[in-house]
Chain A
Amino acid sequence: MPPAISAGRRTALLVALLTFTSSAIGAGNPPGNNLNPTGTDTTRIKSPQGLSSVKQKPSRTPSGLLFDTPYEPLSYKKLNNDWQYRGSLDFGYLFGSGRKSSSKFSDYSDWRNGPLLNYFSLSGWQAREGYFLDAQGGGVGRDDQYYQLSTGQLGTFRINGFFNQTPHTYTDNAVTIFQGVGSENLTLPLGLVPGRNSSEQIRQVLASAYNPDLGINREESRIGFNYTPTLGMKFFADFSHETKEGRRAFGGSFLPPFYAGANSGGMVETIEPIDYVTNEIRSGVSYAGTDLELNLNYTGSFFANDKGQLTFDNPFTNLPGTNFIVERGRYDLYPDNTFHQVKTDLAYRLPMRGQLTSTLSWSRMYQNDDLLPSTLNSGQTFTGINMDQWNSIASLPRRTADAEITNWLFQLGLQLAPWDPLTLKAKFRYYNEANDTDYTAFNRLTNQYGMILEDGAQGGEVFRPATPQSPFHYRSIPFSQKVMDWFFDADYRLSYKTTAGFGYHFEQHEPSYRERISTDENHLKFHLSNRSLSWTTLRLSYEYSTRDGSDYDSNPYVPFYTGSLPGFRSSLTDGATPLTLADLRKYDLSDRQQHRIKAQANFLLRDDLDLIASANWTNNVYDVRYGLQNARTISANLEGNYQPSSRLNAYAFYSFQKQQSQLSNINDIGISADPYAGGGRFPYTAAWKESVDDINHMIGLGFGYRFDPFDIDIRYSYNWANTDVGYDAASNLAFANPDVRNQAIGNSFPIINFDRHILETNLRWNLRKDISMRFYHRYEHNTIQDWHYDGLTPLIGNHLFLNAIPENYGEHVFGVFVQYRVQ
């Protein structure tokens, strides 16, 4: 007779069991991979008996969707008088077409030929005292492998751990002349001298350039523990360790060619080394009582970048000036940072079916990396700045960054149901993000405000009182924000299966050091949920919102520019060089009207047939003359699910989405202090507008059938997309190159196309109750055409590219597997 476990502890069991699977604990929930996206036991077989032998009609969810046919339960074997166990294996061999037409086929996956332990599981359970052990994993030894281990005692404690590896492939067709790829130092090969090479010399070296793999490998390990000392109380702690290693395409400029033509320093695409380590701690306590629920959590995240800088040789020559050679450039890559958060959530039950909720959260982001000097080069720039006085730590205003952002969140909500059909809710939310970073570009050696630009290739910016010049950005801008929200909602139950609701939401956003001191947004929302009809479930919502706010200041950054310093003298006779077009409105702050409609209907066409239809429409209209003028999205989806028996299921779906946006702008072709449209700097003759239309389609088909001793599962999806970018200009003065002939003032770029077919088939032969053979096939075909890369070659004038042009591919993968189930 197993010892009795108190009802209280039994209840706590469920709380404890489900904690680590909770949706509230960070990223990295039960992992899987492309061969097993759900991470479930691949050896399971659908039950021919279905879910119920009593019900005449298949069951549906409260929203009307058919419940899936369950799997045949895996039985446990007795290990001894106390313990039971079960397990399964899915192992075999993968082989493919081997053409490896594009590395993108392996993005997020590992399809390499070879043996594969696709899935394993082992579970043990001791019924008497509730001890358990669960282990599972897949893709063993491959780049997309995953493992999970859980053990503990039901209702008392649980230890859970997992490991998940994700390969992110960018390309393997990049071309680079640099040596040291993956390190902090990219150097030119023998025969090239930094800063002193002609395009022809580079072209010759390119002939023997190599193809580095660009991609990132992410590995995350996590171990967690939770303990349930009493009913409703739980403590948890987990620790995760994540690494990201690899390389990705990165930039690099020494005064791009469009500035100064063929003799300029050039643009060179470098390769950023990725070597990140993040350690994270999460811990907390939760309490769930009759009237009171409380969560108290701490999160600490510690990020380190073990490749904190990137130095790269200049493959080109520079601007005329025999004494001026820019040999190298240097990036200061992402700094180490820390994050701490303490958060508490509270819910208290009130009369009138009410609840009071509150959240209080404090968090801090901080980084204090060592700073790098303005440049690593020596000599005198073409603007007369001696870089020897700017290339040492002594020139910096301080040694480290000391950058900090603190966040506060406070939320309070009240819900009441004064009488049964009516529920009222009110909520207030306050969010404050305070940026305490303060950096001034000041040289302690020369006592000057300024910096060297592009390691000297663009000269430098130095403030010289009483000398005519344009203002430049010399102080960091500590962007901060406060957001306050008020919500009022009323739901009314029209019948026991139909609810209608009305909501009003007011948001006040107060950004600091932005173009508006505050914006106000009013939202009105209506929603309806109807499950009363026997043949359909309907959900509708409509939301209208309008945003306005304080006056728009096109240049709030004056205090951070040298134009605010005593002694500043403008190079223009009629005032300071304007920062920007005063009539342009940035879309995150501009006045806006928004409509959003969402509709979803689940049709119960027959006992064995579902049809789901949904549509969404979002229309954003910005009340602006220049900037983003509108952004619209319309989506529609249709899906049918057919389940005539527990042996057969089929589905088909189609999804459509169209996204459109339009923007307008003016090219600044004049020399004038007038910042307004139509003035000397931004004449109407240089105005232009552009539109982007994205259209996406997707169809999916699936079929599963059990015909003993076989079962088959076939899935096909095809998605295709077109992006059309068109432009119109008032005249060729809007163009980057107005003197180039035969440029139509209205035109469009070639269509960006993308399409992908995926066909996946599993045919299983169930030889015995415990052994099956599985035959697997996958065909994936992808084409892409993107004008950003059309005609791209590694060397175009003074541009040196990695030439990582997206590639098409078509690949077959075959697999033969043996499945074993402990029965």
Chain B
Amino acid sequence: MQDFFSRMRLVYLTLIAGIAAIMSCSSLSPPSLKPELNAAQSNAQYVGASVCSSCHELESGHWSHTVHARIPHLAAPGNPKVEGCETCHGPGSEHVSGPADKSKIMAFTHQSGATVSQQNSMCLQCHSGKERIAWPGSVHQMNDLSCSDCHNPMAQFSQKGLLRKDGINQTCYSCHQQQRAEFRKRSHMPLPEGKVTCIDCHNPHGSNTDPMLKADTVNQVCYQCHQEKRGPFIWEHAPVRESCLNCHQPHGSNHESLLVSTRPFLCQTCHTNRGHPNDLMTTANLASASNPDARLINRSCQNCHAQIHGSNHAAGMLFHR
């Protein structure tokens, strides 16, 4: 514990010193929420939404049915006189005079002349904080993902969230094809069936965990739905308490109950205790063979050790009861 406090003191002092040094650089003031326009657009003037829709009538038509359009006189927080299209796309005068040049307007596409950071700054004018508080440094941010890689506010696809696909899972599958295949395995949570979404476990905007989980640990995510496994129990099973992922693959498995491997061999990777755990089960122990054995067939070890997540029984230290 003393070691921890010493380390913490060092970290704090370093950070405070660093912050003080940075703050002393008076020319480098904290950035506001002003959007970051690229150089070609920085001298442009606002022209008004009616000018935009004179050419982009179809886009305006689609956009007018989205939640952004429900807001009367939508305007940027830093510039209340700016309304409508230019709230997100920036001033449009340069674009009006040279529409073929993609750098003269803030576009949220592959051909855009703006960096991802600049594009995202337009959204973050309003959508900062809350679940996006951990965006900087998240794996999506570090892979240069733009807000418009997942969202398309120009039309209504999804029921909520202005996603670019009809649903949350479909949006994630755009890049995470492997998870799409895993959720079709023999045992899986009901994502394909529409009952669970990727964001029931993950926060795609970033979190304080590397895999962008919505809770502090893997287990806390799982306990959101599997509350009965929370315990604590008077007889704990160490790998269970440490991490559900020691035994389970949450995206899908070829084995029952999302297990990472087949029983009893999964258990035998750790258990070679005196008694029976380390006997090699063979084809002779199958149900129709000469020596059918409950340690192999049906649910294997859990035929007897049913309380494998932990037991609260006075005689439950072997998880039989």
Contacts and interface: CB of A to CB of B under 8 A. Distances in A.
Contact of A40 (B74, B159, B290): B159
Contacts of A63: 110, 145-146, 149, 175
Interface string B256-277: 1000011101001111111110
Given A431-B216, A481-B242, A665-B268, A612 B193 contact: no
Given A68-B157, A130-B72, A331 B307 contact: yes
Contact of B133 (A345, A579, A721): A345
A790 B23 contact: no
B60 to A, nearest CB: 11
Contact of A454 (B55, B77, B320): B320
Nearest to B178: A635
B133 A347 contact: yes
B129 A332 contact: no
B101 interface: no
A652 B100 CA distance: 33
A653 B179 CA distance: 13
A725 interface: yes
Interface stretch (A90-98, A204-212, A355-363): A355-363
B130 A286 contact: yes
A83 to B, nearest CB: 13
B217 interface: yes
Interface stretch (A192-200, A316-324, A397-405, A812-820): A397-405
A288 B306 contact: no
Nearest to B245: A588
Contacts of A373: 314
Contact of A374 (B8, B12, B202, B315): B315
A568 to B, nearest CB: 16
Interface stretch (A176-184, A412-420, A764-772): A412-420
Given A31-B195, A476-B234, A736-B282, A5 B272 contact: no
A706 interface: no
B159 A38 contact: yes
Contacts of A345: 133-134, 208
Contacts of A64: 110
Given A668-B278, A736-B295, A332 B62 contact: no
B163 to A, nearest CB: 9
A28 B129 CA distance: 22
Given A62-B110, A584-B272, A736-B281, A441 B317 contact: yes
B310 to A, nearest CB: 9
B180 to A, nearest CB: 7
A34 B193 contact: yes
Contacts of B142: 489, 491, 499, 501, 527, 529
Contacts of A154: 70-71
A543 to B, nearest CB: 10
Contacts of B208: 345, 359, 409, 411, 429
Contacts of B70: 125, 127, 130, 132, 154
A359 B235 CA distance: 32
A735 B284 contact: yes
A626 B272 contact: yes
B32 A479 contact: no
Given A690-B265, A734-B280, A59 B159 contact: no
A773 interface: no
A752 B204 CA distance: 35
Contact of A414 (B15, B116, B234, B306): B15
Contact of A70 (B7, B157, B283): B157
Interface string A329-364: 111101101010001011101111111110101010
Contacts of A366: 232
B186 interface: yes
B111 interface: yes
Contacts of A412: 11-12, 15
A372 B255 CA distance: 34
B312 A401 contact: yes
A791 B287 contact: yes
A239 to B, nearest CB: 15
A112 interface: no
A796 interface: yes
Nearest to A439: B234
B214 interface: yes
Contact of B178 (A331, A491, A616): A616
Contacts of A39: 159, 167, 194
A639 B180 CA distance: 12
B165 A579 contact: no
A334 B192 CA distance: 29
Given A49-B58, A479-B242, A616-B178, A71 B236 contact: no
B73 A5 contact: yes
B228 A305 contact: yes
A288 B129 contact: yes
A413 B290 CA distance: 62
B261 A32 contact: no
Interface residues of B, number: 182
B50 interface: no
Contact of B127 (A15, A59, A639): A15
Contact of A415 (B137, B242, B297): B137
Given A435-B232, A752-B262, A33 B278 contact: no
A33 B72 contact: no
B232 A668 contact: no
A272 B11 CA distance: 51
A555 to B, nearest CB: 10
B110 A13 contact: no
A47 B77 contact: no
A19 interface: yes
Contacts of B74: 10
A73 interface: yes
A65 B155 CA distance: 16
Contact of A62 (B57, B149, B287, B306): B149
B172 to A, nearest CB: 11
A441 B315 contact: yes
Contacts of A332: 311-314, 316, 321
B216 A363 contact: yes
Nearest to A586: B270
A710 interface: no
A36 interface: yes
A354 B145 CA distance: 19
A276 B230 CA distance: 13
Interface string A750-772: 00101010000000000000000
A371 B177 contact: no
A430 B216 CA distance: 11
Interface string B140-183: 00111110110010111111110011111110001101101110
A454 B318 CA distance: 10
Of residues A10, A529, A614, A639, which shows the largest number of chain B Cβ atoms within 10 Å of its Cβ? A10
Nearest to B12: A412
B75 A10 contact: yes
Given A10-B75, A367-B231, A62 B254 contact: no
A68 B167 CA distance: 12
A299 to B, nearest CB: 9
A367 B298 contact: no
A17 B19 contact: no
A71 B72 CA distance: 23
Nearest to B261: A692
B136 interface: yes
Contacts of B175: 63, 600, 612, 614
Contacts of A600: 175
B56 A54 contact: yes
5 contacts: A7-B77, A339-B230, A352-B22, A588-B239, A735-B280
Given A612-B177, A692-B262, A736-B285, 20 more contacts: A18-B161, A53-B58, A144-B195, A155-B71, A256-B303, A267-B304, A288-B128, A332-B312, A352-B22, A430-B8, A435-B236, A453-B315, A473-B317, A612-B175, A626-B272, A665-B268, A737-B291, A752-B262, A784-B186, A788-B298
Pick the 4 closest A-B CB pairs, nearest first. A791-B288, A288-B129, A251-B306, A38-B167
